[in-house]
Amino acid sequence: MRDVAVVGVGCTEFGERWSASFRDLFVTAGTLALEDAGISGERIDALYVGNMSAGRFIEQEHIGALIADFAGLATNHIPSTRVEAACASGGLAFRQAVIAVASGMEDVVVAAGVEKMTDVGTGVSVDTLAGAADREWEGFAGATFPGLYAMIATDYMHRYPLTREQLAEVAVKNHENGSKNPIAQFQNRITVDTVLSSSLVADPLRLFDCSPITDGAAAVVVVPLERAREFTDSPVRVLASAQASDTIALHDRRDISTLDATVAAGKRALERSRLTHRDIDLVEVHDCFTIAEICAIEDLGFCAKGEAGRLTAEGVTALGGDIPVNPSGGLKACGHPVGATGVKQICEVVTQIRGEAAGRQVDAEIGMTHNVGGTGATVVVHILGA
Ligand code: COA
C-alpha cells in the first residue's frame, strides 16, 4: 500500500444557501480544492462523492454522474461514484479516495461531500434524516434523530455525572469556535442560559443542543505521498483510516450511551498510525447533538466514561485547552449538511495542520476526525499529520 496525502481543500459557506443549487455548491467546493492543489480538472483520475439523500431533498438521483457532468468532466469519462452512509457519507467518500490512491489504482482523486437540505420543510428533512435509523423499529414508532439522541442523553445522565449545564457548555464552546470560522452557519456566541432557555425539542435536548439543517459542500484532493510535492509545499499525510459498524437500531445495542463503533474505529485508527491519544493535537468529532460530543470524546478514549461533561465545563476541550475538540465550530455551529460534514472535518484538520486557521488556530501537527452515520451504525475515523 502507498502512503497518501491531501494536497488541496475547499469548502463552501455552510447555511441556508437559497440562492445556490446543489450543483453550484458542489462545483464551488471542487473548484476551491483544485485551485488549492494548483491543478485543473483534467488531472483528476476519479471522484468519490458523499451524499445522503439527494433523492428526497432535491428529487435527484445518479449523483456520481451528475457531479462529474457539472464539474465539466463528463467527456473525460472518469469514474465518479456516490458514497452513502447517512451522516457519515462524507467521511466514507474520503476513505474510498484514500483506498483508491493507497492501492495504486488511481493517482489524483477528489473526495467530496454535498447536501442541499433546505429546499424542503423541516418535516420532510427530519423524516428524511430518520431514514438513517431503523425505519421499521424506530422511524415508524415516531422516533426522530433528536428523539433517539434524547434517549441516549437520558440514559447517559441517569448513569454518569453529567449536568444539564455541562451539556450546554458543549454548544457554548462550539458557537464560540464557530464565531471564528467564516464558513460557519452560526457565527454568534451564546451562553449556557441561551441553551437552557431555548425551545425543548426532545427532552432533555433543546434547540441549541441540536445541529441545524444546512446546505453546503466540501472537497479535497488526494494523491500518493511520493508525488505530493508536485502539488503543494504543505501536504498533509493520511496516517490512518478506519471504519466500523454496529446495529442500526438503538434497542439492539449492548449499551446505548457508548457507541461501540466509535470505540472500534478509534482503536483501529490509533493502532494503524502507531500513535497514542497524547500525540493527537485536535479532534473534529460528530456533535450532531451535544450529547454526541460528550460520548465521542469518551468513546474515542480521550477521557474515561463520565468525565467529558466536567472536562468540557473546565475548558479542556476549548481552543486553548489540552485537547481542542471541534475548533471549526463542529456540526452545532458550522452546520451539518449531512453528506458534506465528513469532508469538511478533513478540510478543517488540514487547515489547522497547515497553520491557516486564523482566529481559531490551535498548535497542531496531528489531528483526528470522527464522522458518525445514524446513531453510530457507521463510524469513520481518520488521523492526519504534517
Ligand atoms: N441551533 C440554533 N438555532 C437554530 C437551530 C439550531 N440547531 N435550528 C434552527 N435554529 C434557529 C434558526 O436560525 C431560526 O432562527 P431565526 O428565527 O432567528 O431565524 C429559528 O431557530 C427557527 O428555525 P427553523 O429552521 O424554523 O427551525 P426548525 O424548528 O425548523 O428546526 C430543529 C429546528 C432542531 C428541529 C432542526 O434544526 C433539526 O431537526 N435539527 C437536527 C438535525 C439532525 O437530526 N441532523 C442529523 C443528525 S445525525
Of 162, 47, 197, the closest CA to residue 114 belongs to: 47
Exposure of 104 by Cβ count < 10 A (0-12 exposed, 13-18 middle, 19+ buried)? exposed
* pLDDT tens digits along 63-121: 999 999 999 999 999 999 999 999 999 999 999 999 999 999 999 999 999 999 999 99
Whole-angstrom distance, CA of residue 215 vs CA of residue 131: 18
- Mean pLDDT confidence for 169-181: 98
CATH of the domain at 164: 3.40.47.10
Share the mean pLDDT of the chain: 98
User: What interhelical angle do 290-299 and 164-178 show, nearest 10?
Assistant: 90
Asked whether residue 161 falls in the same domain as residue 300, the answer is yes
Residues marked active site are found at: 87, 336
CA 301–ligand 1 middle distance (angstroms):
30
Asked whether residue 74 falls in the same domain as residue 102, the answer is yes
The secondary element (H helix, E strand) that includes residue 203 is none
According to DSSP H, which parts of the chain are helical?
A: 22-37, 54-57, 63-70, 89-102, 122-130, 145-159, 164-178, 192-196, 260-273, 290-299, 308-313, 330-334, 341-353
pLDDT at 226: 98
Of 236, 270, 285, which one is at a domain's C-terminal end?
236
Alpha carbon 159 to its chain centroid, in Å, reads 28
* pLDDT tens digits along 190-218: 999 999 999 999 999 999 999 999 999 99
Whole-angstrom distance, CA of residue 346 vs CA of residue 332: 17
CA 51–ligand 1 middle distance (angstroms):
21
- Mean pLDDT confidence for 41-65: 98
As for ligand 1, residues whose beta carbon falls within 6 Å of it are 87, 122, 126, 129, 145-146, 201, 207-208, 210-213, 288, 336
Asked whether residue 369 falls in the same domain as residue 263, the answer is yes
CA 335–ligand 1 middle distance (angstroms):
10
Q: What is the dihedral of CA 153, 165, 298, 330, to 10 degrees?
A: 90
Domain count for the chain, please give it.
2
* Mutate-to-test residue for ligand 1 from 18, 115, 208, 213, highest number of ligand atoms within 8 A of CB: 213
Ligand 1 atom closest to the Cα of residue 171 is 1
Asked whether residue 220 falls in the same domain as residue 178, the answer is no
> What 3-state DSSP class applies to 70?
helix
Single-letter amino acid code for the residue at 232: T
pLDDT at 114: 98
Asked whether residue 143 falls in the same domain as residue 242, the answer is yes
- Name residues whose C-beta falls within 8 Å of residue 129's C-beta, 6 or more positions apart in sequence: 87, 144, 145, 338
* Contact of 148 with 245, CB cutoff 8 Å: no
Asked whether residue 62 falls in the same domain as residue 161, the answer is no
Asked whether residue 114 falls in the same domain as residue 147, the answer is no
pLDDT at 117: 98
* Contact of 322 with 306, CB cutoff 8 Å: no
- Mean pLDDT confidence for 56-67: 98
Asked whether residue 232 falls in the same domain as residue 148, the answer is no
Ligand 1 atom closest to the Cα of residue 211 is 7
pLDDT at 324: 98
Asked whether residue 292 falls in the same domain as residue 143, the answer is yes
pLDDT at 161: 96
Q: Considering the entire predicted model, what is its pTM?
A: 0.98
Asked whether residue 116 falls in the same domain as residue 130, the answer is no
* pLDDT tens digits along 141-155: 999 999 999 999 999
- Name residues whose C-beta falls within 8 Å of residue 266's C-beta, 6 or more positions apart in sequence: 242, 299, 300, 301, 370, 381
Q: For the chain, give the percent of residues with pLDDT over 90.
A: 100
Domain of 21 in residue numbering reads as 4-121+214-236
Asked whether residue 343 falls in the same domain as residue 256, the answer is yes
Asked whether residue 89 falls in the same domain as residue 172, the answer is no
The secondary element (H helix, E strand) that includes residue 4 is strand 4-11
**For the chain, how far is it from start to end, CA to CA, in angstroms?**
19
Write the residue with the smallest CA distance to atom 7 of ligand 1.
212
